[in-house]
Amino acid sequence: MELLTVDHKDFTMIVECTKFDGIWNKAKSNVGEDKLYSTYSWSEGVVSVKRTMDADHETDIEQGVSAPATFFDNMDYPIWIEFKDYVNDAQFGSILQNDNDRFSFRRHILAGVVNYKNEIGRSEIQIIYKVGKETRTFRFGFEVLSTKLDYHEHWRVIVEDIEREYRMLSLDYMRRTFHGFSPDQNGEHPDIVWWSVFEGEQQKFIKACKSIIDRPRHRLHGEKVYLRADKLKQTPHNIENRLAEHRREPAYLYRVEQQIQSNDTQENRFLKFALHQISKRYEKLRQRIEAVRTASDTMKAAMLATSETLKRLQHHPFFRTIGRFKGMSQESMVLQKATGYSLVYRTWNLLRRAYSLNDGLYRLQTKDIATLYEIWCFIEVSHIVKEQLHLEDEDVEHHNRMEMNGIFSWELGKGEHSRILFRKDGIELAELVYNPKNADKENDNVGMKNLVVPTVPQKPDIVLQLTKNDLQQGMKMTYLFDAKYRIDGRDKGVDTPPEDAINQMHRYRDAIYYKDYDANALKKEVIGGYILFPGDGDPDGVAVSKFYKTIKEVNIGAFPLRPKDAENRKLL
């Protein structure tokens, strides 16, 4: 089925999807048809963009105006670009070489398939082609939507909650999709700079530097010079007597102070310093990216061009008369407000911090929506435990408040590294761990104390232990949670969890034991196991559903948990 047709002056691009009706209906059932919209953007040269709704109906799309979505997670989208005869070469311009390898150019047609898997968010298709000796680039932007959650509301809440809790945790979320976050001006959090923003800020910096070099701010500088009387524009009082004395000597030179324009200002010295600093760090980054196997040739070429531009700017004749920057003795209003200078100062501040964190930027790892949902569930469970125990912030001890450590790519620490302890008046009440590895040989440094698996390692997403000192000193009661970004179906208006996930909770409960090292004995450990999934449904309907009723019967079951669903959250 043809979904999208882009008529460009140089080509026609068609986006297809064979099973789109099924995916649309699935998303419509889970999210609601009114939420299945996207905003599209494109570069110059487009004549029209049309979105096919059905066999007999298509609609024109306007740039920046909401229109029916085209791209969803986990779907194959064949793309055909038929170029005019004068186009002699073309390629797909993804930052990932694997994506580019799926496209081939033959007989004026560039064709291939894209699949965004679980990676939702803002993305774009980039096409690079040649007309004669000129290289042209076309970009087409859109949103990739989820079929299970409302991208425009739920997805943003998940990312915001994670960012609030773990600062830079989801920085490496972007791979094919990207989102830009404005720099945080109050300094409480590091700036969230994914490559889309990062690259854009770099180009802004270069543009601002060029603008200043073309029209620099200067200052008047007093300089002693020797001039003949006929060259004096005005007569200073201190040489009037000498003028009278030497009036018959036309070649006599008079020592005067002349105001001349100088570019050697504090602000231009700062520009020279900032350009050198950013160029040096950018080149280090470029050399690292050069060695990344999965980075595309297109991106490497673009980075090389940027690096060469920075070097040319550094060696511009303008800087020959500019001295060394020694810092600002006072705040500069020129850097704060002047055209060009203010942009250089702002982007330098942003890039300076970004480059200091760039060690992990191009690992090209991804945090897809399934992983983000899993982390968000961990955060929600920790908030619920805190609420139920009526604790304050100072009663919660985090082992996962990680600092930057020069790394620009984040993984949430697992086991001991993500442990949260809940205490009141020095008494431990509960412990929560994200994704511990429960295996006997690993219990000393990861996972939870005294939990063992005699057979094979088990890996529940979230483990909660409650301490019940009123029954027995130090008695632990263990509960398991697994976050599954899946919906099995719908029964009586309520989404249902995947059956295999429920079965997995039975296996966890049977496999994980508590080892009493004093008695050297194994004891049954897990009290209950629960699936957390992004389901929807009326709370009354959920309360009588099979997956919820089994919790009271056998302590195995599921809870629907999604952002802004306060009623079903109460069940958990």
pLDDT tens digits for range 66-95: 999 999 999 999 999 999 999 999 999 887
Per-residue pLDDT, averaged over 373-397, amounts to 89
pLDDT digit string (tens) for 397-419? 775 544 333 333 344 555 555 67
At residue 365 the predicted structure's pLDDT band, cuts being 50, 70 and 90, is: very low
In the three-class reduction of DSSP (H, G, I as helix; E, B as strand; rest coil), residue 395 is classed as: helix
Q: What span, in angstroms and rounded, lies between the C-alpha atoms of 4 and 252?
A: 83
In this structure, of 110-114, 138-142, 366-370, the range with the lowest mean pLDDT score is 366-370
pLDDT digit string (tens) for 279-337? 888 887 777 767 766 667 887 888 889 899 999 999 999 998 888 887 766 566 767 66
Do β-strands 121-131 and 37-39 pair in parallel, antiparallel, or remain unpaired? unpaired
Q: Which helix (H) or strand (E) holds 206?
A: helix 195-214
Q: Which helix (H) or strand (E) holds 42?
A: strand 41-42
In this structure, of 124-133, 179-188, 499-508, 527-536, the range with the lowest mean pLDDT score is 179-188
- Per-residue pLDDT, 183: 32
Give, as one character, the DSSP assignment of residue 116: -
Tokens found for residue 170: 């989801």
In this structure, of 76-85, 196-205, 535-544, the range with the lowest mean pLDDT score is 196-205
Q: What distance lies between CA 73 and its chain's CA centroid?
A: 18
Residue pair 11/80 in contact (Cβ under 8 Å)? The answer is no
In this structure, of 111-115, 181-185, 520-524, the range with the lowest mean pLDDT score is 181-185
- Domain-by-domain residue ranges, the chain? 2-147, 195-216+264-356, 219-262, 369-571
Assess whether pLDDT exceeds 50 at residue 189: no
Please, what is the angle between helix 195-214 and helix 341-356, to 10°?
140
- Per-residue pLDDT, 261: 73
- Per-residue pLDDT, 264: 82
Q: What span, in angstroms and rounded, lies between the C-alpha atoms of 462 and 431?
A: 11
Per-residue pLDDT, averaged over 162-186, amounts to 45
Q: What is the dihedral of CA 154, 160, 161, 165, to 10 degrees?
A: 160
Per-residue pLDDT, averaged over 184-192, amounts to 32
- 243: exposed, middle or buried (Cβ count in 10 Å: 0-12, 13-18, 19+): middle
pLDDT digit string (tens) for 421-455? 888 888 888 888 887 554 444 433 335 566 666 66
In the three-class reduction of DSSP (H, G, I as helix; E, B as strand; rest coil), residue 487 is classed as: coil
- Per-residue pLDDT, 407: 34
Residue pair 142/124 in contact (Cβ under 8 Å)? The answer is yes
Assess whether pLDDT exceeds 70 at residue 178: no
Assess whether pLDDT exceeds 50 at residue 363: no
Q: What span, in angstroms and rounded, lies between the C-alpha atoms of 368 and 118?
A: 5
Tokens found for residue 300: 């490497």
Assess whether pLDDT exceeds 60 at residue 360: no
6 has which bridge partners?
A: 13, 49
- Per-residue pLDDT, 414: 53
382 has which bridge partners?
A: none
pTM of the model: 0.65
Residue pair 307/286 in contact (Cβ under 8 Å)? The answer is yes
Q: What span, in angstroms and rounded, lies between the C-alpha atoms of 460 and 455?
A: 15
3-state secondary structure 294-345: CECHHHHHHHHHHHHHHHHHHCCHHHHHCCCCCCCCCCCHHHHHCCCHHHHH
- Number of other residues whose CB lies within 10 A of the CB of residue 228: 12
Assess whether pLDDT exceeds 70 at residue 272: yes
Average pLDDT over the chain, rounded to an integer: 79
Assess whether pLDDT exceeds 80 at residue 277: yes
Assess whether pLDDT exceeds 90 at residue 140: yes
Residue pair 38/67 in contact (Cβ under 8 Å)? The answer is yes
Q: What span, in angstroms and rounded, lies between the C-alpha atoms of 374 and 59?
A: 38
Assess whether pLDDT exceeds 60 at residue 177: no
In this structure, of 216-220, 526-530, 532-536, the range with the lowest mean pLDDT score is 216-220
Tokens found for residue 379: 């955060």
Residue type (1 letter), 200: G
Share of the chain above pLDDT 90, in %: 35
Do β-strands 134-145 and 71-72 pair in parallel, antiparallel, or remain unpaired? parallel
Give, as one character, the DSSP assignment of residue 120: -
Residue type (1 letter), 388: Q
Q: What distance lies between CA 403 and its chain's CA centroid?
A: 17
Per-residue pLDDT, averaged over 511-524, amounts to 69
- Per-residue pLDDT, 229: 78
- Per-residue pLDDT, 437: 53
% helix / strand / coil in the chain, to the nearest 5? Answer: 35, 30, 35
At residue 176 the predicted structure's pLDDT band, cuts being 50, 70 and 90, is: very low
Helix ranges, 103-166 (H): 156-166
250-255 LR contacts (CB < 8 Å, sep 24+)? 252/228, 253/226, 253/227, 253/228, 254/226, 254/227, 254/228, 254/229, 255/224, 255/225, 255/226
202 has which bridge partners?
A: none
Residues ≥6 apart with Cβ < 8 Å to 557: 502, 530, 531, 547, 548, 549, 550, 551
Distances (CA, A) of 295 to 120, 279, 307, 366: 20, 21, 17, 14
